Structure 1
Amino acid sequence: MKNTTKYIIGVMSGTSLDGIDIAYIKISYNNGYFFEILNHTTISYSTYWKTTLKEGFHFSGEKLTKLNADYGVHLGNTILNFITKNKIENLDFIASHGHTIYHNPNKNYTLQIGNGPQIAAITGVKTICDFRIQDIALGGQGAPLVPIGDELLFSEYDYCLNLGGFVNISFNKNGQRIAFDICPVNIVLNHYVSQLNFEYDNEGAIASTGNIDKGLLKELNDLPFYNDTKPKSLGYEFIVETIFPMIDKFNLEINDVLRTFVEHVAMQIVKKIDSNSEKTMLVAGGGAYNTFLINRIQSYTKTQLIIPEDTIINYKEALVFAFLGFLKDENVNNCLKSVTGASKNHCSGIVFNP
């Protein structure tokens, strides 16, 4: 690749429905990749959008098609407001992940809504989106996609861990980047703590007051997904069909549910790393603020958990989707077959011009 610099807005909406992460980023290539996050914000979802996006999983085809367009308009207007407020003039393109409604690669489909043409039309800026569908067409999982950023932007760490709606990890093994979803995390914790009228369990304080239910912990740890070694990823379907029913049949107090699930998450993460060696693991995503969860993970391993500055914790995924767009714009591979299980490395994403 020739030396180049691009100014990009990266946009991310995660399954935990925290809000829309928007970051204005300078990405350069000069015998290596470099980035600088110049500006950023998170736009919280209104009650309407939080409810609608959560219910979108159950919508009819026509209703979901309209939601795709409406959400694209919402994203377009939100991004345009960000551009205007911050007086951004130097902008090459927008790279948007969209919001995942369905993700079932074993049945050859995934859906991230947030109509790309709407974003391009409203902002007047080239927009790159739909980064997952090509990978599934090539036999891959369409996820995780962040590891290309881990490989090229955060290579100084032995492991990169993201604690978002789901836990995912990436690391280099025998010269190849390996990555996969480990288990759900915030999407489950937030669901149960919402029954106490909280959006999230601040620093894991409520979980820390609970007791571990050994029966539930064993059932969770015995789920077949955790012993499947092929490239794999998780979607909301797994939560609805497997996790919630399993937890609910135990009729536990909420703090006991949270306590048990935190222990489950910690145990599953540590199973996937070399916990007896003093390596380093970068931790990003909202779960990095769950002090109790971090302490439970650390209690099981000698690997040092590195909690970075807030900008990286909160905007690493927006950064990486900007980076995926950067590679797409340069026609450089941005999806790794060693990660997703696709038939080949490839350059993914769809470009919409205004």
Structure 2
Amino acid sequence: MDTYHVIGLMSGTSLDGVDIAHCRFTYKKENWIYEILHTNTLTYTNTLIDSLRDAETTTARQLIGLHHAYGKFLGQQVRQFVTQHGIAPDFVASHGHTIFHQPDQHVSLQIGHGAYIAAEAQLPVVCDFRTLDIALGGQGAPLVPIGDELLFRDYDYCINLGGIANVSFAMNKQRLAFDICACNMLLNTVANQVNEAYDENGRLARAGVMQKELLDALNEPPYFTVPPPKSLGKEWVLEHSLKTLNESAASVQDKLSTVCHHIAFQIKQSLPLLHQGQHRVLLTGGGAFNGFLAELIQQYLGQQIRVEVPAPELVSFKEALIFAFLGVLRWRGENNCLKSVTGASQDNIGGAVYVG
């Protein structure tokens, strides 16, 4: 089988909803070709946002209940999506919603149980992409780089500005990738303080003034100078970046401006020059719609690196697309998690399969 129709599900740490992408993948002449056929973003209700945000401090019984209920919710949404578009996908590939990610303690949990998705959607489901890699001594993250390697190799760097910003690039004939810093988790949280879901196009940040003392504090944690493999979880962000922002007396606009400078600076620190001549950066994720942030990233990187923001569909749904692709690789029994990225003892085929 060389053509697959797959629904990819992605829920980010910024709690802005679930991305659904119906994708077609074709393997032709030793290359993968992708098409995004249908998409939708499901906005969470305030009740669901509260449940997901509070999940890390709830009881074990309540967490298991949420794990199952959220899987049922995802399955119902997939069934509605399939009916709406009159499609017949081969299977669903779901990232799940991350509640814990502490790979140094062999702890990582993405909820949205695959059995419940399969039962509701009446489709096979591939999920739980991280656990095998962690069992093999890896970080279980980032997972997207194999997709960057096989689908977006025309770019020198792939940067996703999601709840957490991460980068992927090929160097010395191997793929490297790691989490850079918190991104929309910071920007959205600060914007929420003035009753905005997010800072549209960076309007508030553009009106602010970068605060040097706050910028230095955001850049201070040792994580930023530790070599990869490395990855970030919500727990680290709460303990460091968000704590620093909460302790600052700066205005909302000044905080947003400073966070944008922090993100741009850390991205600059993270990108090695790989060759002579112009370098290309593919910028995706919700943060790529923040015009002020995108401009700052370009300014910090300089003229030798060209930042490219693709069509809005790819900006919004690249991660859902790639998780659909990870599902394809799992379905074919091919490696979808790279030891060069995660630090595991070997490349591996991550993902549990549930057949509804």
Shorter chain as denominator, the TM-score bin is over 0.9
Letter in 2 for 1:122: E
Letter in 1 for 2:339: K
Match of 2:270 in 1: 272
- 1:312 aligned to 2:314? yes
TM-aligned CA deviation for residue 277 of structure 1: 5.2
Unaligned runs of 5+ in 1: none
Match of 1:84 in 2: 83
What is the alpha-carbon distance in structure 2 between the residues aligned to residue 12 and residue 218 of structure 1? 33
Distance change (3 Å), C-alpha of 1:274 and 1:252: same
Match of 1:341 in 2: 343
What is the alpha-carbon distance in structure 1 between the residues aligned to residue 121 and residue 296 of structure 2? 44
For 1:162, what is the secondary structure of its paired residue?
strand
Match of 1:328 in 2: 330
For 1:348, what is the secondary structure of its paired residue?
coil
- 1:107 aligned to 2:109? no
What is the alpha-carbon distance in structure 2 between the residues aligned to residue 250 and residue 131 of structure 1? 37
Is the contact between residue 221 and residue 240 of structure 2 (CA under 8 Å) also seen in structure 1? no
What is the alpha-carbon distance in structure 2 between the residues aligned to residue 104 and residue 231 of structure 1? 13
- Runs of 4+ with >4 A deviation: none
- 1:10 aligned to 2:8? yes
For 1:76, what is the secondary structure of its paired residue?
helix
What is the alpha-carbon distance in structure 2 between the residues aligned to residue 71 and residue 329 of structure 1? 24
TM-aligned CA deviation for residue 160 of structure 1: 0.3
TM-aligned CA deviation for residue 199 of structure 1: 0.2
What is the alpha-carbon distance in structure 1 between the residues aligned to residue 287 and residue 228 of structure 2? 26
More displaced 10-residue stretch of structure 1: 51-60 or 180-189 = 51-60
Pairwise mapping of residues 168-207 of structure 1 onto structure 2 (< 5 A)?
A: 168-207=166-205
TM-aligned CA deviation for residue 278 of structure 1: 2.2
Letter in 1 for 2:281: M
Distance change (3 Å), C-alpha of 1:214 and 1:277: farther
Letter in 2 for 1:216: L
What is the alpha-carbon distance in structure 1 between the residues aligned to residue 191 and residue 37 of structure 2? 34
Is the contact between residue 178 and residue 228 of structure 2 (CA under 8 Å) also seen in structure 1? no
For 2:192, what is the secondary structure of its paired residue?
helix
Distance change (3 Å), C-alpha of 1:105 and 1:94: same
- 1:218 aligned to 2:224? no
For 2:240, what is the secondary structure of its paired residue?
helix
Letter in 2 for 1:279: H
For 2:232, what is the secondary structure of its paired residue?
coil
Superposition TM-score, scaled by structure 2 size: 0.97
Identity over aligned pairs, percent: 45
What is the alpha-carbon distance in structure 2 between the residues aligned to residue 122 and residue 62 of structure 1? 22
What is the alpha-carbon distance in structure 2 between the residues aligned to residue 250 and residue 164 of structure 1? 23
Letter in 2 for 1:40: T
Match of 2:17 in 1: 19
Which residue, out of 229, 245, 248, partners 2:246?
Answer: 248
Number of equivalent positions: 351
What is the alpha-carbon distance in structure 2 between the residues aligned to residue 334 and residue 342 of structure 1? 13
- 1:48 aligned to 2:47? yes
Letter in 2 for 1:102: F
What's the RMSD between the two structures over aligned residues?
1.1
TM-aligned CA deviation for residue 230 of structure 1: 2.9
For 1:25, what is the secondary structure of its paired residue?
strand
Deviation string for 1:15-38 (max 9, x for gaps)? 111111111111111221111111
Unaligned runs of 5+ in 2: none
Match of 1:239 in 2: 237
Superposition TM-score, scaled by structure 1 size: 0.97
